[in-house]
Amino acid sequence: METGIRILLLSVVLALSGCASIRNWLDRDEPKEDTSAQADTQADTDDASQAPPRVIEPEVARRKIKVPRIDTENIEVGGVFGALSVEDFGTNPVYGFTAAYHVTEDFFFQAEAGRTTAGKTSFETLGGNVTLLTGNQRQFTYYNLALGYNFLPGEVFLGRNLTMTSGFYLLGGIGSVDFAGDQNFAVSFGAGYRVLPTDWLAIHVRMQDRIFNSDLLGEKKLTNNLEANIGLTVFF
Amino acid sequence: MFVTAPYLELHTAPGRGFPITQVVARDESVDILKRQTDWFKVRTARGVEGWASYKDMLSVVLADGTPFTFPMGDRAGFTSHNGEIGVFAGDYSGATLISAYGSYSFNSQMALEVSLGQFLGNASNGTLADVGLIHVFMPEWRFSPFVTLGTGIVHIEPKATLVAPLDRTDQTAYVGGGFRYYLTRRFFARAEYRSQYVFTSRNDNEKVDEWKLGFAFFF
């Protein structure tokens, strides 16, 4: 009977110790978690004690923006070639130079100069040896300062795929004509048509009348000198 | 550059009548390629090119949010600008005068001016070249008076039909005054009188009256 009680007690002791060891074995990680959790709470309290929260300061300097110089294309220069009819002296080839400044989309200032060599009057042709002017005096040189108005701007279509900007413009100006050894004040009126294959290139066709007073053939009269020309200009 | 208006209209060519084929939406960016008169050629982020008017470009901002500014032809430009170019017709001591001038502004009141002219008369023809200073009293007024002072040369060619035709070139000095009147956009009218003294090689100096009226623009 005594041995039976001893065995029972021993088995109880063993079972208890075994259970205790198993419990330790199962919960081996628990203490570690406890310590890290403790550390976290400590860190939190530390941050809170260090007053204002940190502000993020960017290390990028504010960009200073400078607008580059914008390419303005208001100046148009080029050459012209055509025919000028000098009153009483026939029609002859003329070549010239033109420069314009486009002030607004509607108006432009234009300066032009040109030269032709006048032919013979019918009197000279019929009269045989008669010559009214020397070779140098036959040179007809003009310059003109004009205001232009883009009267009918538009577009032209070449086939299905090509569109070009175009415009019909009016010109009126003052200038001078150097002809027959004399310089005369001249007024000019005209109109032109321009087509722009690109933004910077223009083809012109124009007609102008250069009017001035001349007393070359005896009496003083107003002479009309019509010029038709084609021109090629570039914008820059 | 970024669009701040609801949209930016792009025309096919620099002119108010040309069709609008593209629009750039708000907050999209554009690059400026060039400017012709009051039109800006721009390229969008998608590579589309077109022309925007200066009025629409006023609503464009730079990447840092500041507005895009550019010189415009308006009253503020009339008051203060870099330079002027103009053409005159007038009278030079009885002869018809044609002249052109260009000026460079030091500030809104003071400018350096160079003018070239030709006069065509019954008795003689000639050319003029002058350089001088101009002072505008009230540049902010639409109708603003000015005075001018300068020096130059005059080359006179008497007509061959007169006795003893002798070309001569003399130095001149002038003092004058006039008015500028702002018309519209970049244009203004200008009327001017100059009293010119020609320092001849003879005993007496000549005094010549020069009146002219013209048209000019600023830039």
Residue A57, in any domain of the structure? no
Q: What is the pLDDT of residue B122?
A: 82
Helix (H) or strand (E) holding A125: helix A122-126
- If asked whether residues B150 and B132 sit together in one domain, one would say yes
Instruction: Give residue-wise pLDDT tens across range A46-96.
Output: 555 566 777 777 777 666 777 778 888 899 999 999 999 998 899 999 999
Residue A48, in any domain of the structure? no
- If asked whether residues B97 and B172 sit together in one domain, one would say yes
- If asked whether residues B14 and B115 sit together in one domain, one would say no
Residue A50, in any domain of the structure? no
Higher pLDDT: A30 or B9? It is B9
Mean pLDDT of chain B: 89
- If asked whether residues B106 and B174 sit together in one domain, one would say yes
Q: What is the pLDDT of residue A135?
A: 81
Q: How many domains does chain B have?
A: 2
A 10 A CB-CB count for A11 gives 10
* Mean pLDDT, residues A99-119 taken together: 92
- If asked whether residues B53 and B84 sit together in one domain, one would say no
Stretch among A64-68, B58-62, B93-97, B98-102 having the lowest mean pLDDT: A64-68
Whether the pLDDT of residue B77 is over 90: the answer is no
- If asked whether residues B96 and B26 sit together in one domain, one would say no
- If asked whether residues B20 and B96 sit together in one domain, one would say no
* Mean pLDDT, residues A30-34 taken together: 49
Whether the pLDDT of residue B41 is over 80: the answer is yes
Q: What is the pLDDT of residue A56?
A: 77
* Best residue in A60, A63, A178, A199 for a mutation probing chain B (most B CBs within 10 Å): A199
Which residue, of B24, B47, B70, is where some domain finishes? Answer: B70
Q: What is the pLDDT of residue A20?
A: 56
Domain with A93 in it: what CATH number? 2.40.160.20
Which residues constitute the domain of residue B30?
Answer: 2-70
CB B211 within 8 A of CB B182: no
- Residue owning tokens 């003689």: B124
* Mean pLDDT, residues B76-99 taken together: 91
The token pair that represents B113 in the structure block? 């001016």
Q: What is the pLDDT of residue A26?
A: 53
Q: How many domains does chain A have?
A: 1
Partner-chain contact A63 B64, CB within 8 Å: yes
Domain with B142 in it: what CATH number? 2.40.160.20
Q: What is the pLDDT of residue A44?
A: 52
Q: Could you tell me which residues come within 8 angstroms of residue B145 by beta carbon, excluding any fewer than 6 positions away?
A: B136, B137, B138, B177, B178, B179, B180
Residue of A nearest to B125 (CA): A183
Instruction: Give residue-wise pLDDT tens across range A122-136.
Output: 888 888 788 888 888
Residue A100 pLDDT grade (very low, low, confident, very high; cuts 50, 70, 90): very high
* Mean pLDDT, residues A26-42 taken together: 50
Stretch among A25-29, A206-210, B85-89 having the lowest mean pLDDT: A25-29
Pairwise CA distance, residues B19 & B16, whole Å: 8
- Paired with B149 in beta bridges are B133, B175
Residue A49, in any domain of the structure? no
ipTM above 0.90, yes or no: no
B68 → closest Cβ in A67, A73, A174: A67
Whether the pLDDT of residue A30 is over 60: the answer is no
The token pair that represents B96 in the structure block? 């018809």
Which residues constitute the domain of residue A194?
Answer: 75-235
Q: What is the pLDDT of residue A16?
A: 63
DSSP letter string, B148-214: EEEEEEEEEEE-TTSSS---EEEEEEEEEEEEEEEEETTEEEEEEEEEEEEE-SSSSPEEEEEEEEE
Q: What is the pLDDT of residue A21?
A: 55
- If asked whether residues B111 and B210 sit together in one domain, one would say yes
Q: What is the pLDDT of residue B204?
A: 82
Which residue, of B23, B49, B70, is where some domain finishes? Answer: B70
Instruction: Give residue-wise pLDDT tens across range A183-236.
Output: 889 999 999 999 999 989 999 999 999 999 888 877 888 999 999 999 999 998
- If asked whether residues B151 and B57 sit together in one domain, one would say no
The token pair that represents A66 in the structure block? 């400078």
- If asked whether residues B136 and B58 sit together in one domain, one would say no
B186 → closest Cβ in A62, A104, A165: A104
Which residue, of B24, B39, B70, is where some domain finishes? Answer: B70
Pairwise CA distance, residues A187 & A208, whole Å: 10
Residue A40, in any domain of the structure? no
Higher pLDDT: A159 or A33? It is A159
Residues of A in contact with B33 (CB under 8 A): 71
* Mean pLDDT, residues B117-126 taken together: 88
- If asked whether residues B107 and B145 sit together in one domain, one would say yes
Residue A59, in any domain of the structure? no
Whether the pLDDT of residue B127 is over 70: the answer is yes
Domain with B21 in it: what CATH number? 2.30.30.40
> Which residues of B lie inside 8 Å of A (Cβ-Cβ)?
12-18, 32-41, 62-64, 66, 68, 70, 73, 85, 87, 89, 96, 98, 100, 118, 120, 125, 159-160, 185-187, 215, 217
* Mean pLDDT, residues B106-132 taken together: 92
- If asked whether residues B62 and B97 sit together in one domain, one would say no
Residue A2, in any domain of the structure? no
Percent of chain B at pLDDT > 70 equals 97
